[in-house]
Amino acid sequence: TAAELRPQNGGGGTPGIGDCQMLLNQLKEITGIQDSAFLHAALKAANGDLMEAVAFLTEEHAQAPARDTAAAEPSKWEGSAVGKQLPPAPRVPPLTRGEQNLLRGCFTAGVCVFCDRPQEAHSAEYKNRSKRKRCEVWGENPKQNDWRRVGDWPVGMKNIGNTCWFSAVIQSLFQLPEFRRLVLGYSLPQTVLESCRSRTGKRNIAFMQELQCLFALMLGTRRKFVDPSAAVELLRDAFRSAEEQQQDVSEFTHKLLDWLEDAFQLAVNVKNPGDKSENPMVQLFYGTFLTEGVHEGNTFSKIETFGQYPLQVNGYCNLNECLEGAMVEGEMDEATASQSVKYGQERWFTKLPPVLTFELSRFEFNQSLGQPEKIHTKLEFPQTIYMDRYLYCSKELIQMKREEIKRLKEKMVILQQKLESKSRRQIEKPIPCCWILLHSVLEGTDTGTEDGPCFLTNSSLQPKSHLVLQACSSPAGPSERPAPHMVSEDELNLVRTCLQRWRNEIEQDVQDLKESIARITLSIEQMYCDPLLQQVPYRLHAVLVHEGQANAGHYWAFIYDQPRKRWLKYNDISVTESSWEELERDSFGGLKNASAYCLMYISDQVSCLAGSEAGQFQKEVEALPPELRHYVQEDNWRLEQEAEEWEEEQSCKIPQMEPSPASESQDLSSESGPVCEQSVRSLSSEHALIAKEQTAKAIANTAEAYEKNGVEAALCEAFHEEYSRLYLLAKETPTPQNDARLQHVLVYFLQNNAPQQVVERTLLEQFADKNLSYDERSISIMKVARAKLREIGPDDVDMEEYKRWHEDYSLFRKVSVYLLTGLELYQNRKYHEALTYLVYAYQSNTKLLLKGTSRGVSKSLIALYRRKCLLKLNEVAASLFVSCEEACVAEGIGILNELIIPCMHLMNKFEISKEDLDAIEVMRNRWCSYLGQEDMDAKLQEKLGELLPRLLDCSTEVIVLKEPPKIRPNSPYDLCSRFAAVMESIHGASAVTVK
């Protein structure tokens, strides 16, 4: 409540230090904003009233994406949002009324760090939705694998409080490609949107928009699970039950299909008003059935529509029995129209939908307890069900089959009765007198008793030559039953033979009856295995499972993944591999409180469409409408921001350490190419680290502004001054000994007319570098800069373009290092190593120069020293070759094969200059001059013959030059000093003396 949220500090005014920290934590939790400076300022503006501060912070207004414009001069730049006075930081005097108004203006106008232009309506909607759906999972588990999606593995769905029912149904529908396509492609003409006045219509459109956003995220998110809060809240309002009550899957699915049908009908009505047959939701999920029957002696026939088909579970063992019971009620036979039949009906499907959903009624009302109870009996269902036996077009054949089954069942009843009679006869005494006789003779007991063995085997009838029956010694008196006084051996054998024959006859009769019953059972089971009744197969797509009792429990879903050819278990945020055996165990029921509640089958046609190839999700993301694609990109950007915040919080828990040289540097031997999802941050952080000393100096110059006006003002001043300095530096006329681009990434950007958004964000990242933690002022500025970075989303800066600019600068530095290293090695007469660096410098530089002349270094300079290296190496190789010493000859051939020929091949790949052609011709002539020399050894002539074809025609094979050793970049000033020293050496012909 509001009273609970307000600070308990004894009244109004600014809260104390302890209360303030508590309120800041509450604000973070309520609003999701982590910037303590903004939260502190909001609290001050609200005079310590938490509710008013929340009102400031939760105003949902967005900003417009700034268009790409080249970086402006400082005078033009001063009008950008970076230079505006922002809300004061912590530890400043209480806000004046004007400052409070400014704060309110910032929050209500949604001022961006780089732009203050209005946002288009739909973009604002998607941005705000993204902010509402942020998943706070970083503190729950520090392992990235626990919150990051792996490849295109399906994502889970967050349970926001008894919403497992929503997850189970939505996941099952989302995995239907046709349904997914319909939802993501849903759109209405503007005229329809404007003319929609009903509350229901507006609600359905709003729900479709939320469902689109949810589906788009499920396709393209990098999160391991998504948050469905917005869509769930719309649905919850439509249920009669309390907000936190668990919903019934069938009730929810009915409501969902109704809303979707109504929403798509708005689009259908544009062309065919009132024609529901054109509604794609109706076409996908709804079918029709015909009911024929007799009621009170009168025949009737009617056609009805169905979406989910209800089936009563109790009393049946499998799905087909359930369906059969639902299709036939009462007494139905060929005399349906007879007045003797008072009630009976048959149902026949006349049209089956592509997606066939069976609702299993597993609840019944207990009259004595006055509450519903769950039915836990076992019900089996197949992976493929053939619907032919329930179609109206198969009516005559099915009725014949039913009559045959009815006849067989009647016959089986008779056989069962006979079997039971035989079984009883097997247990009872077949001829009492004989049993009494044998009992008396063999056991010596009272012949009148009824106790004793019921049936005697052959082993118990031992032959006796003469048996005399003694009088009964029982005091009870004379025997009640007659018995012979003497039994001869012949008489005993006769009785034994009769009993054995009777037993054999009964056993044979029982066996015959069992075999007949088994044959009839098999005939009934195979009655519908007729190929004519297996033309309409439906494959099991999803099983929705409920565990628990009627009034409480948990839902999850098993869904068959067509591309992976396996079952997956969707249990809220968890999506794991499963199997048919696990599905049976959890879904059939009878063993525990878990059982299937809803079955979703799909036709063969839909099944084929669902069997899309791997990587289909990525293709669908690329095909999304622009606003949805942008929404996904923004959410992924926010994920990275959240990850960065979490990492920052984690880093604060341990003492900061100076980064190692390896972490400061970049592997310059790797080619510029596809990078991981964190490459943008790693490259820009690398460039911020290179400029760390310059940024620190800019911060040091803001001491006065920091003391007088606070951290915000200090950041703005440092930002402005550094921008101006770099802008002027970029405009200076370069000299042969000086390349200002090596000093700072922004000089490179400015000289190449990079978009202003790219320049400004890059400079802001310089001030957000965590390596600037020198003192309280630099730490405060760093935190505020990071807070501003978090406010910049994909709307404000095109991150793909941003990444490309930083990749280009990284490649430029690599080219510069390769060139400088190659020149230094050349001047030290290390031609082997120098050539490799120069060749790679030339290749990478060519890629940059395709984008502009200022993107790379001097092409002619690299080519000049590459030629010099080649000519020097060729002279060395030729001299070694003609020395006739085996080791020297091998070394010369090695230089030719490993360096000269590959380099010539690479030179021919590019647009070759006349100077390079002349140099190649000189090298070839040198080797050709050895042909036919009389004083040259025959073996050398043979080796020369093998070398010349490759030397003269480099296009016959693909040869790649060995990569140079890894090089770590130095600080900008070290690199600049190396450049100056090398260039001075080249132009002044003096030796290079660089450490």
What pLDDT was estimated at residue 602? 93
What pLDDT was estimated at residue 786? 86
Whether the per-residue pLDDT at 832 is higher than 70: the answer is yes
What pLDDT was estimated at residue 681? 62
Cα 806 to chain centroid distance, Å, stands at 29
Phi, psi for residue 347 in degrees, rounded to 5: -115, 140
Q: Bigger pLDDT: 194 or 816?
A: 816
What are the CA-CA distances from residue 53 to residues 28, 110, 128, 224, 637 (Å)? 11, 15, 19, 33, 27
Contact 579, 604 (CB under 8 A): no
3-class SS letters over 106-152: HHHHCCCCCCCCECCHHHHHHHHHHHHCCCCCCCCCCCHHHCECCCC
Structure-block tokens of residue 721: 């001054």
- Residues 770-782 have pLDDT tens digits of 777 667 888 888 8
Contact 56, 100 (CB under 8 A): no
What whole-number distance in Å separates Cα of residue 867 and Cα of residue 915? 8
What pLDDT was estimated at residue 225? 92
- Residues 694-750 have pLDDT tens digits of 888 888 888 888 888 888 999 999 999 999 999 999 998 877 778 888 889 999 999
- With CA atoms as reference, report the closest residue to 786 among 938, 881, 651, 952: 651
Q: What is the mean pLDDT of the chain?
A: 75
Whether 164 is catalytic is: yes
- Residue 989: CB atoms within 10 A of its CB come to 7
How wide is the angle at C-alpha 407 spanned by C-alphas 404 and 410, nearest 5°? 150
Q: Is the Cα torsion angle 254, 256, 258, 264 positive or negative in sign?
A: negative
What whole-number distance in Å separates Cα of residue 235 and Cα of residue 259? 9
Query: Mean pLDDT: which of 870-884, 897-911, 956-970 is highest?
Result: 870-884
What pLDDT was estimated at residue 723? 92
What pLDDT was estimated at residue 433? 52
Query: What is the radius of gyration, based on Cα positions, of the chain?
Result: 44
Helix 199-220 and helix 626-651, axial crossing angle in degrees, nearest 10: 60
Name the one residue in this structure whose structure tokens are 């935190």.
783
- With CA atoms as reference, report the closest residue to 326 among 297, 342, 343, 349: 349
Contact 83, 720 (CB under 8 A): yes
Q: Bigger pLDDT: 28 or 843?
A: 843
106, 135, 164, 322: which one is catalytic?
A: 164
Domain positions in the chain: 146-282+618-633, 287-330+341-405+530-607, 686-916+959-989
What pLDDT was estimated at residue 339? 44
Phi, psi for residue 360 in degrees, rounded to 5: -90, 115
Write b or e for each residue in 541-577: b if 16 or more Cβ atoms lie within 10 A of its Cβ, otherwise e: bbbbbbbeebeebbbbbbbbbbeeeebbbbbbbebee
What are the CA-CA distances from residue 444 to residues 438, 441, 447, 471 (Å)? 9, 6, 8, 10
The residues facing 358 across adjacent strands are 309, 599
Contact 244, 162 (CB under 8 A): yes
Whether 676 is catalytic is: no
- Percent of the chain at pLDDT > 70 equals 69
Tell me which architecture the domain covering 146-282+618-633 has in CATH: Alpha-Beta Complex (3.90)
What are the CA-CA distances from residue 895 to residues 531, 835, 879, 936 (Å)? 76, 11, 11, 20
If you average pLDDT over residues 635-663, what whole number do you get? Answer: 59
Contact 249, 257 (CB under 8 A): no
- Residues 505-526 have pLDDT tens digits of 888 888 888 888 888 888 877 8
Please, what CATH class does the domain formed by 287-330+341-405+530-607 belong to?
alpha beta
The residues facing 755 across adjacent strands are 70
Q: Bigger pLDDT: 194 or 695?
A: 695
Give the DSSP letter of residue 292.
Answer: E
Q: Bigger pLDDT: 290 or 421?
A: 290
What pLDDT was estimated at residue 203? 86
Whether the per-residue pLDDT at 156 is higher than 90: the answer is yes
Whether the per-residue pLDDT at 821 is higher than 70: the answer is yes
Give the DSSP letter of residue 954.
Answer: G
Model confidence at 173, pLDDT cuts 50, 70, 90, reads: very high
Q: Is the Cα torsion angle 143, 147, 152, 156 positive or negative in sign?
A: positive
Model confidence at 797, pLDDT cuts 50, 70, 90, reads: confident
Model confidence at 991, pLDDT cuts 50, 70, 90, reads: very low
The residues facing 599 across adjacent strands are 358, 543
Whole-prediction pTM: 0.55
> Exposure of 10 by Cβ count < 10 A (0-12 exposed, 13-18 middle, 19+ buried)?
exposed
Cα 452 to chain centroid distance, Å, stands at 74
Q: Bigger pLDDT: 284 or 429?
A: 284
Same fold, 146-282+618-633 and 287-330+341-405+530-607: yes
What pLDDT was estimated at residue 748? 92
541, 554, 687, 905: which one is catalytic?
A: 554
